[in-house]
Structure 1
């Protein structure tokens, strides 16, 4: 049987290269390859419904609807009738969409030309009774005062990106038991700004299945999208049970692995941020299993904060090199291995900040700190890269500025005892911590909240690690892992 998805995919491959990058970026829309569309359609569970009401917002040329309808035509669903509603804002794609959905003579297709957010929020938000929704929504930030943001707010949706807005609306419009399958960036899982979106979803739906691509650039490789994508299946009003997790390297799905996890491994019960973790193995990591690694930062008497100096806001106070009246300003570029080099004339960043009434509140007293880069570079093997700030590197300075692209561990906005700072750095630079962190944290950055939610060895154990570290001028990854192994054994 000829599958209409193949026709839609042929059109996608012809249309996509001809669509200007500027146009794609303006709409934030990247069309779904056939292999992903088929996989997504395959994620819906069997259904005994007589009538299917299918929603495809941001439908493009119709690949997702076609994949779903092909599955129905092949006898996989027992629906007697299918009513499909597809929204598409891009006039250049609407004709293709009409053609592709029109090829299913038994389907009642309603193609709506226009902006899904605008149209769905025009009236008070209520379930439109969709039984199934399949979507690859646009990816684009929504500014706080935009028409989209205000329209969403009017129906109780507070979110920062078009993709999460589309998913929230699809969930709201689904009838009881409605199934929603979406391919979206993984940033909603633990981005702090997505907290209201996570709460919105948890109040209305159960997470049933999540699929993770191991490679960051393979899901939309034709469009050169470097984005960690996830496919999620939600059930409107469903009872939350265990979650199926599947992974594959890329969109060929040839190395598909499947596991199932209790929900308390997906969302940790006492996590105030309600971060969504995507464990990729059923085995617990060495860190999770170790009785020695069980303390919160609060129990250690420590805090972690994002570096408070946002350079573009304090531009007038920045200086290329230290001069009278300045204190050191530390960027990630100053961090070298486990320490810091300052000043660095060739850094292309300021090395100093004026100390005055306007900058004082952003400064920390000079002392020992453990700092972690918020963004790790491609060359770095670990996601978490920790360094020690040693006050001797900054001469007799009494204060330090920490730039926004790092997180720092401190005691009530003051320095740490040296062995504790060094011990923290050793612990955070271990392979075991990195593996545990990667398993649960999808975004490429390390936020202060991520570090706050981690468990740590006790204060004495960290100090012992720091005392051990002081004996060596250079410490290899192997040495760190062996030493941590003794602690966690």
Structure 2
């Protein structure tokens, strides 16, 4: 049956226009992914299964779950499926999928062609029906604005979130009975960032994370629809006892080369992390930064801030090239690898900012700083790309302007010693740091919160790194070797 549904999925996906897909934020689940997700459920001894499939599409996930039950690997005698799908264009396909199994005496289903969020909230607030024992979800991916009706409705049941996918999973958690299992394929963006902190807190307070599956290649889970979002599959047990977490990886959605390893929970979420960032360790890692970095930024006397200059708010003070009464204004475009080119002719960004009473508060004193671009390009092998700002490159200027697309490491809004800046930059440019960052970040943006939560070598080790930085060069192998050599002394 799954083969037939896959044929239908490819047909529906190819004939549905992009605007319609965007409207509902839903992308249909490929056959192999559906099978893999259904296979993540653990036998729990229930005689009767009540499955929630919210955002059911054409029924691929429900079908995969039913097929697994029929194979007797879940030991379920009765199955009831409640499938939600708001897109009326998919109703007949979904009904055809589920009705195929009505000849089985232990199978029943109900399709709700209605808004899952509204229906779920009503069920939570006003109904006292039995909770679901299982949920299998490929929820829609679409932002929820702060003033939307959804945000207000969700707050009524204690959910604070910014995207439909996290709203769907949160509601599923509230609809489950104790011991119920949830398997969901969702964007990795929930693992970090302040906007998803309430979502992470809800999951961690009510569920145990049992398994996480990571696709090593971005955009493979829904490649037929041209989706580039990095996704993970997560398996939760509502009310479960948190133990080790099984992390599996595959190169793509064919799942031919799955690798698996168990990690203690304190490797997934650091015990002292107030943000509750979820780290997904790479199976290829060799100890990561844990052996060489044990200090917070505060412990080494360094701060990090987003560049304070927001150019569109200071338009009248921007200058294409330096003039009298101006100071350097640095953008990512001024950084090429570890080097700075300023002023830079021919770029679309200004090179200078007028220094006056209105702009003075946005400048930093000229000095040594370590700078990380908030966005790396697709061509760069690392997500964190660090550079050193050397005051000698701006001789004669008392202050510097840092634009908002830069993250600036500083000491109380002033520069640091030359060796400290160079050592910090060398450390941040290692492969170990890049691998560590990828454990909890599924996108190329590097935020201040990400840099604050990371660990660093001691101040003394960073200064020692700074002393050898000039002799290391730009070879990745030499950078990594130098940092390991110095930090392991």
- Which band: TM-score by shorter chain? over 0.9
1:98 equivalent among 85, 95, 107: 95
Equivalences for residues 240-255 of structure 1 within 5 A: 240-255=242-257
Q: Is the 8 A contact 1:370 1:388 kept in 2?
A: yes
Question: Could you say what the CA RMSD is over the residues aligned between the two structures, in angstroms?
Answer: 1.9
Residue 8 of structure 2 aligns with which residue?
11
Q: Is the 8 A contact 2:79 2:108 kept in 1?
A: yes
What SS class does the counterpart of residue 290 from structure 2 fall into? helix
How far residue 282 of structure 1 moved from its aligned partner, in angstroms, is 8.4
Matched, 1:46 2:43: yes
What SS class does the counterpart of residue 52 from structure 1 fall into? strand
Q: Is the 8 A contact 2:243 2:264 kept in 1?
A: yes
What is the CA–CA distance in structure 2 between the aligned matches of 1:288 and 1:452, rounded to whole Å? Answer: 16
Residue 77 of structure 1 aligns with which residue?
74
What is the CA–CA distance in structure 2 between the aligned matches of 1:110 and 1:478, rounded to whole Å? Answer: 58
Equivalences for residues 53-452 of structure 1 within 5 A: 53-105=50-102, 106=104, 107-122=107-122, 124-125=124-125, 129-281=131-283, 285-290=287-292, 293-452=293-452
Query: Given the two structures, how large is their TM-score scaled by the length of structure 1?
Result: 0.94
Query: Which structure 2 residue ranges, 5 or more long, are not aligned?
Result: none
How far residue 399 of structure 1 moved from its aligned partner, in angstroms, is 2.2
* Closer, same or farther: CA 114–322 of 1 in aligned 2, 3 Å: farther
Q: Is the 8 A contact 1:190 1:443 kept in 2?
A: no
Query: Which structure 1 residue ranges, 5 or more long, are not aligned?
Result: none
What is the CA–CA distance in structure 2 between the aligned matches of 1:367 and 1:195, rounded to whole Å? Answer: 35
314-323 or 186-195, larger mean C-alpha shift? 314-323
What SS class does the counterpart of residue 117 from structure 1 fall into? helix
* Closer, same or farther: CA 43–313 of 1 in aligned 2, 3 Å: farther
* Closer, same or farther: CA 179–466 of 1 in aligned 2, 3 Å: same
What is the CA–CA distance in structure 2 between the aligned matches of 1:312 and 1:138, rounded to whole Å? Answer: 34
74-83 or 166-175, larger mean C-alpha shift? 74-83
* Closer, same or farther: CA 480–168 of 1 in aligned 2, 3 Å: same
What is the CA–CA distance in structure 2 between the aligned matches of 1:82 and 1:274, rounded to whole Å? Answer: 36
* Closer, same or farther: CA 24–262 of 1 in aligned 2, 3 Å: same
* Closer, same or farther: CA 117–300 of 1 in aligned 2, 3 Å: same
How far residue 322 of structure 1 moved from its aligned partner, in angstroms, is 2.9
Query: Given the two structures, how large is their TM-score scaled by the length of structure 2?
Result: 0.94
How far residue 159 of structure 1 moved from its aligned partner, in angstroms, is 0.6
What SS class does the counterpart of residue 151 from structure 2 fall into? helix
How far residue 17 of structure 1 moved from its aligned partner, in angstroms, is 1.0
What is the CA–CA distance in structure 2 between the aligned matches of 1:29 and 1:456, rounded to whole Å? Answer: 40
How far residue 439 of structure 1 moved from its aligned partner, in angstroms, is 4.0
Deviating 4+ runs (over 4 angstroms)? 123-128
Matched, 1:35 2:37: no
How far residue 475 of structure 1 moved from its aligned partner, in angstroms, is 4.4
What SS class does the counterpart of residue 181 from structure 2 fall into? strand
How far residue 265 of structure 1 moved from its aligned partner, in angstroms, is 0.4
Q: Is the 8 A contact 2:189 2:441 kept in 1?
A: no
Residue 486 of structure 2 aligns with which residue?
487
Q: Is the 8 A contact 1:190 1:275 kept in 2?
A: yes
What SS class does the counterpart of residue 189 from structure 2 fall into? helix
* Closer, same or farther: CA 118–361 of 1 in aligned 2, 3 Å: farther
Q: Is the 8 A contact 1:131 1:174 kept in 2?
A: yes
